[in-house]
A and B are shown apart, each in its own frame.
Chain A
Amino acid sequence: MITVLVNGREQAFEPAADASLAYMLREEAGLIGVRVSCGEGECGACTVLVDERPVTSCLMLAHQAAGRKVTTIEGFGSPENLHPIQQAFIEEQGFQCGFCTPGFIIAAAAFLEENPSPTEEETSIAMSGNICRCGAYPYIVRAVMTAAERLRGASV
């Protein structure tokens, strides 16, 4: 048995030895905001934060998360009080179907933490680990730029 700090709450799990972190979060924790699309670390839909760094959770063994801090999209904001990145994605229409959106938002959060004042090009490159099948990329970049501006304002 392992314990993981998931979205601020200590939880116990009993994953199979070869289960992925993505599988455990979806099937055992019910966190279906963790999307599994390619399952091969290419598309970024399953991106979560582990100890504040972004990882493709489909490639990480669940057991490797023992004792660590994991944040999924469910840990970002709430319906009444959206995270600034979530708000910016809605305002800038940074999605169509929304399937890839949790992964994009988490990748953006990790990126902006490291680079709070990015250029559009830096943002595009930083989002290269996420695939949007609807092709909303220009809107996604705009959403991340808008979020960056707001987060900078909030921290002043």
Chain B
Amino acid sequence: MSTTTTEIARFAFVRPDDVAGAVAAGAAAGQGGRFWAGGTDLMLEWQRKQRSIETSIDITRLSELRGIDVGPSEIRIGALTTLAEIERAAAVHPDLETLAAIAAVMCTPQTRTLATVAGNLCNASPAADLAPVLMVLGARITTLTAEGGRELELEDLFAAPKQSVLADGELLTHITIPLGGRRAVRYGRIARTVVDIALTLSACALTLDDQGRIITARIAFGSVAPTPLRAPSGEQLLVGKTLAELTPELLAEAATAAAGDANPIDDIRTSAAYRRHAIRVLTQRALTEAVAQLSVGGDQ
């Protein structure tokens, strides 16, 4: 492992050779340590003096944390998989199409080369675009510290704006998406144009069982609450229904109920009132598209 400190530097830079070295470095660094991957948020927070960092632990060389593997019952996404790689992952598995489509409109091509999926999640921005779609995919995250590992639901990662529940020295190693059933994943996103951060984002996933009933329904939002948010009130109206029972009226009702779970604010990008309206409309459209997708698939 190489360590660099210079007189004018204000943090130490360490580059562990493997995951064990990384969590050891995280434990040694304690409160002042930060795992540094793409660094596209950290660099700005550091330069704007929004964050104090004593030790930056460069994890970008840990190749075991990179890449997407599809197994029989789950998809595993390494923490360091970049947005550029996610963007090209639609061919890897159909359930990743929506994730890929969202990655393709995040930040810019040359920033997507650097930015990682774990960075997008661990920075815990309420506007993290990958979070809602990974949440509707039922994603779990696995973390490691020098003491050992744990697994948690992705939706339990977010504590507050820009604050995750991870402890000092706790490294997110990979994200797991369970497979099974016939699933449609759709989203709606409103932003000024490409490159812009979303004003609101709604994602939904509907899964059919063998009897043609909705076995799981998940709806999640970005940019309408202090954290990325599950919207259970809308989901409950859909579970157990057949496709024929998912009428436009019921989908509208579910979208309205889901939007009730949102808790948006006014900020520089748009108003709370607009977000509350838009999230309902986006959810209704996403649900309608998901039902249409499942209906077409059923005829095959």
A16, A17, A44: the one within 8 Å of B110 (CB): A44
On whether the beta carbons of A56 and B110 are closer than 8 Å, the reply is: yes
On whether the beta carbons of B13 and A63 are closer than 8 Å, the reply is: yes
Interface flags, B10-47, vs A, CB<8A=1, else 0: 11110100000000000000000000101110011011
Tell me if A125 counts as interface (CB < 8 A to partner B): yes
Shortest CB-to-CB span from A53 to chain B, Å, is 5
Residue among B36, B58, B84, B110 with the most chain A CB within 10 A?
B110
On whether the beta carbons of B4 and A41 are closer than 8 Å, the reply is: no
Give Cα A44 to B47, complex, Å.
18
Tell me if B242 counts as interface (CB < 8 A to partner A): no
Interface flags, A59-70, vs B, CB<8A=1, else 0: 111011010000
Tell me if A117 counts as interface (CB < 8 A to partner B): no
On whether the beta carbons of A61 and B109 are closer than 8 Å, the reply is: no
Interface flags, A68-106, vs B, CB<8A=1, else 0: 000000000000000000000000000000000000000
Shortest CB-to-CB span from A114 to chain B, Å, is 9
On whether the beta carbons of B12 and A17 are closer than 8 Å, the reply is: yes
Interface flags, A105-125, vs B, CB<8A=1, else 0: 001001100000000000001
B12, B44, B46, B114: the one within 8 Å of A55 (CB): B114
Tell me if B8 counts as interface (CB < 8 A to partner A): yes
On whether the beta carbons of B108 and A56 are closer than 8 Å, the reply is: yes
CB-CB under 8 A for A63 and B4, given A42-B108, A56-B108, A128-B194 = yes
Q: Which residues of B contact A44 (CB under 8 A)?
A: 108, 110
B9, B15, B113, B194: the one within 8 Å of A53 (CB): B113
CB-CB under 8 A for A54 and B110, given A40-B44, A41-B40, A59-B39 = yes
On whether the beta carbons of B43 and A17 are closer than 8 Å, the reply is: no
Which A residues between 1 and 56 are near B, CB-CB below 8 angstroms? 14, 16-20, 39-42, 44, 47, 50, 53-56
Interface residue tally of chain A, by bracket?
20 to 34
Q: Chain B: which residue is nearest A57 at the CB level?
A: B110
B11, B60, B113: the one within 8 Å of A54 (CB): B113
Shortest CB-to-CB span from B254 to chain A, Å, is 33
Known interface pairs A61-B58, A128-B194, A129-B107; 8 further A-B residue pairs with C-beta atoms within 8 A, sorted by A's residue number: A39-B47, A41-B40, A55-B113, A59-B114, A61-B56, A126-B109, A129-B109, A130-B108
Interface residues of A (CB under 8 A from B): 14, 16-20, 39-42, 44, 47, 50, 53-56, 58-61, 63-64, 66, 107, 110-111, 125-126, 128-130
- Interchain Cβ contacts under 8 Å between A and B, 24 examples: A17-B5, A17-B12, A18-B9, A41-B40, A41-B43, A41-B44, A44-B108, A44-B110, A50-B113, A54-B109, A55-B110, A55-B113, A56-B110, A59-B40, A60-B39, A63-B58, A64-B58, A66-B15, A128-B193, A128-B194, A128-B195, A129-B111, A129-B195, A130-B108
